[in-house]
Chains A and B, each alone.
Chain A
């Protein structure tokens, strides 16, 4: 069913660069096909008991201006912490932290080894063809360290025949320009694709600043009036370029080769806080990044076994410059940080089936990181210059074996054993157990449960950053289990309805947190023990309302208490037994898509409950983050001609022009607009 949906989704997006696909023009005439529901019979043995959220092409290719952070915000119940438009965005599962989310791209881990986390605002959703979330325990199937879960991102061949081209131009509020170009070529054996995205904006949206006032003085410098200024987002400009080159070769005899290379050139200013009284022209606060990621893959497929090998390389150069005008326009560095990361990656996978009942898998991956971090230039006591920073390398080895058994159609059990080595330190055995079973064929009700242990090693900054790095940190460890039910019902051509409800619980020990020290810098320590638990609900409905009218509704809901259960830090500590700060207890999303002939209307809505900014859960006047609701809409019209397909799309973000904050002192944009034009010529 999922495959059917994906195919249907592809058909719904005319500007997806599969230029010569035969059905591209037919979808409008045929409307959205509601598939017959069939769930239990197609449960892959590989996914026994896993809690997974998959994103279809409709979601990933909604518009070229979206990053994966935007996609996850509106289409999943995981928490996306967003520091502003085109600014750092991190994601966290089930009440954990962003560094507890492991992220892979075509199999290679792309978490920043220095920080441990991933900035999802740097991943254009148009570059991702396949995305899935592995919640909690399920991440052990792919990698270790995902105490919250894992995000799997990958690309795949475009299935092009001959040459193809697609170009999309977006123009929006705040002088935002988004451009996307994709060139494809394909035949029976080769699939070649080049994608490029360029996004730029001064990003100077207006907002009324509730956090500060402007004074009006008389001649004697007495304040005679004050007002809340309408300000622009100051120093928030960005220019991001992404280029993705893919080459796939299929022998047609069971061997597939692939090469993916992704280059990022990002230049972003870091916007000033709402409480900053500095003059934007006096300061420059800029972050630049050049990253090159590449993966070479080989898959050898036979009827009952499979071998895979991957090799990859990541080079990242990051620069952070904080400058001050010292007069006459001369900008002097207050901070000049540079970091370089080289990562070498290799992986071997094997799968072996015995009939339809057994599947054995083995996996071994190695990431070798070499990091140079230069945080500050100083003058030493002897008058010579020196750099505050560190240079370190660390191999990260992860291996797993699993046995999956489905003795009867209605029941499956899977056992995974994983072990990891970071540097010279090994984790204990990481076990994970998964079971699922069909409770009722009527309604296709399936029960799933899983249990695992997991560990996360400190990041390189946690250990070595100067000043503050703590080489004595212990690895974080956790136990987690989840259990749930899913169902799927439907009627061919009329409707399909799927849903799931899951309970999860996890205990994390030695949670690493960076805290200030009396010496004026931050330092990490194994501070907290956390008990996170809760419920995740998902639902998906597709209805043929009338001939040529289709409605798709998708909703998620999470209840995620994440409670500090450690010892009080000091006798006055009020944080024990309280929700972790900046982790919403409730979150929800709803997406509605209505299509009629060649028109498509999309409504996206998300909700986060109030986030505490204090570990004691006190709500102060200056530390308040009220519930966060957001509504976006878009309307698209497609045109199909003999020589090309066109589409025009208009999007409105923050529909109700809410004044809101996602993070303290970081203003978010009000209502804003963007128009997209897409052309996909036919080369026949």
Chain B
């Protein structure tokens, strides 16, 4: 009998030696107020794993700080960090599958507030200190919010769009009008009167316009991805479009080859050059009549996923998601195509935001 007790006690001791813990974070103090330029990198993380992160890069010192949101706040950023903008020293970080937009101090990375009650937020655009729009996917509404009170104040219903195929994306303002590209199973740019919060017009482009910017000449640029093979919505060669914001008409269509996957249209600081990804990195004057023959940076085995251009120096930053389950790499090139730096960030670096 005593042997039995010994056996059992030994067994219990083995199990008690366990050391499993779901850890708490520790709040770290940052002060980036002295750094000049700064680049935030939104790392999407893996869908449904809640491992999105925010990185911060100082171009001057060529140093990067990863997971700054977690380190500053001792909590996770969430699931799929989609985009970020800065307004008056506050960074607004849109975390898609966490249904939240965090407001953070851009020097300390500390949270100052959050907007919740969102469906599946993608991008945020400020109209004033007390009014902003947040676009959504899987919702046929754009949410109107009061960023000061962190609350949803209304909705803009998008015509001819169901919840299931709802998709509104990037926003560009021209006067009192706001233009929004509608992407997933969509083919249009919509025009919203920001005074009445109503869709007043729309422009049909190709299948699935993925991004939207406005150049120095008030021309909107969008690029379509053309859908995919077998899609009941259609599959076509993608195109880059130049659209006059005033007349809301297509001025120019630049066609790509069938099967190309262009994405990530970006502008330089002076807004006279556009950049995009299509295996290689491409650059083109906004007044050009045709796409250049040679890319700005040719494909070199890197899976380009994100792109930005420094508004002050013109340096081009490209994100490589590698295999999508490890820390991605960001490459920094000068406008003369010289590799200046490279640094690891978080999983799936997809979007950038300049301080």
Contact = CB atoms under 8 A, between A and B. Distances in A.
A455 interface: no
B308 interface: no
Interface in A639-684: 655-656, 658-661, 663-665
B22 A273 contact: no
Nearest to B25: A621
A215 B51 contact: no
A35 interface: no
Interface string A211-232: 1110101000111001010000
B33 interface: no
A75 to B, nearest CB: 16
Contacts of A626: 19-23
Contacts of B47: 516
A326 B163 contact: yes
Interface in A340-382: 376-381
B325 A549 contact: no
A134 to B, nearest CB: 29
A425 interface: no
A597 to B, nearest CB: 14
**Residue of B78, B160, B183, B231 contacting most chain A CB atoms (<10 Å):** B78
A276 interface: yes
B23 A624 contact: yes
A620 interface: yes
Contacts of A615: 323, 325-326
Contact of A572 (B48, B74, B76, B342): B342
B67 A620 contact: yes
Contact of A569 (B11, B78, B138, B303): B303
Contact of B231 (A215, A275, A388): A388
Nearest to B277: A518
Given A210-B22, A211-B75, A622-B51, A516 B113 contact: no
Contact of A551 (B4, B14, B166, B324): B4
Nearest to A270: B48
B138 A223 contact: no
A440 interface: no
Interface string A383-417: 10011101000000000000000000000000000
**Residue of A521, A570, A658 contacting most chain B CB atoms (<10 Å):** A570
B296 interface: no
A551 B10 CA distance: 13
A520 B49 CA distance: 17
Interface in B10-58: 11-12, 14-16, 18-25, 45-53
B185 A622 contact: no
A336 B323 CA distance: 29
A567 to B, nearest CB: 10
Nearest to A466: B230
A618 B326 contact: yes
A320 interface: no
A665 B49 contact: yes
B320 A572 contact: yes
Contacts of B8: 592, 594, 603
B49 A551 contact: no
A546 B4 contact: yes
B114 A277 contact: yes
Interface residues of B, number: 102
B232 A665 contact: no
B21 A659 contact: yes
Interface stretch (A144-152, A166-174, A327-335): A327-335
Contacts of A380: 232-234
Interface in A502-559: 515-521, 527, 545-546, 549, 551, 553
B222 interface: no
B327 to A, nearest CB: 6
A571 B302 contact: yes
Given A276-B79, A592-B11, A605-B15, A659 B22 contact: yes
B326 A221 contact: no
A378 B138 contact: no
Nearest to B50: A665
Given A274-B50, A629-B18, A629-B20, A603 B11 contact: yes
Nearest to A527: B323
Given A378-B185, A571-B301, A622 B232 contact: no
B322 interface: yes
A324 B136 CA distance: 12
A590 B327 contact: no
A582 to B, nearest CB: 9
Nearest to B300: A571
B126 interface: no
A211 B51 contact: no
Contacts of A570: 301-303, 320, 322, 329
B53 A381 contact: no
Given A211-B76, A221-B149, A628 B51 contact: no
B15 A629 contact: yes
Interface string B127-142: 0000000000011010
Interface stretch (A17-25, A116-124, A573-581): A573-581
Nearest to A331: B163
**Residue of A282, A332, A466, A626 contacting most chain B CB atoms (<10 Å):** A332
A516 B324 contact: yes
A622 B53 contact: yes
A594 B4 contact: yes
Interface string A263-282: 00000000001111111001
B1 A276 contact: no
Contacts of A223: 111-113
A499 interface: no
Contacts of B20: 626-629, 658, 660
A553 to B, nearest CB: 8
Given A549-B4, A569-B303, A627-B19, A467 B231 contact: yes
A631 B47 CA distance: 31
Contact of B160 (A383, A545, A628): A383
A631 B185 CA distance: 49
Contacts of A469: 230
B263 A656 contact: no
B50 A273 contact: yes
Nearest to B234: A381
A616 interface: yes
A254 interface: no
B116 interface: yes
B163 A614 contact: no
B111 A215 contact: yes
Nearest to B119: A324
B261 interface: yes
Nearest to A545: B4
A572 B232 contact: no
B168 interface: no
A161 B33 CA distance: 83
A493 interface: no
Contact of B75 (A213, A520, A527): A213
A551 B8 CA distance: 9
Contacts of A515: 323-324
Interface string A301-337: 0000000000000000000001010100000111110
19 contacts: A210-B22, A212-B75, A275-B95, A277-B99, A278-B99, A334-B119, A334-B164, A376-B165, A377-B162, A516-B324, A518-B225, A569-B303, A574-B327, A592-B11, A623-B49, A626-B19, A660-B22, A661-B22, A665-B51
Given A273-B98, A623-B51, 20 more contacts: A211-B50, A215-B111, A273-B97, A275-B76, A276-B97, A276-B98, A324-B139, A326-B163, A378-B232, A381-B233, A381-B234, A388-B185, A466-B228, A468-B228, A575-B325, A613-B51, A613-B325, A616-B326, A631-B18, A664-B50
Pairs A-B, 3 closest by C-beta atoms: A665-B50, A629-B18, A386-B232
Interface of B: 1, 3-4, 7-8, 11-12, 14-16, 18-25, 45-53, 66-67, 70-71, 73-79, 95, 97-100, 111-114, 116-120, 138-139, 141, 148-150, 160-166, 183-185, 187, 207-208, 225, 228, 230-234, 261, 263-264, 277, 300-303, 305, 320-329, 342, 344, 346-348
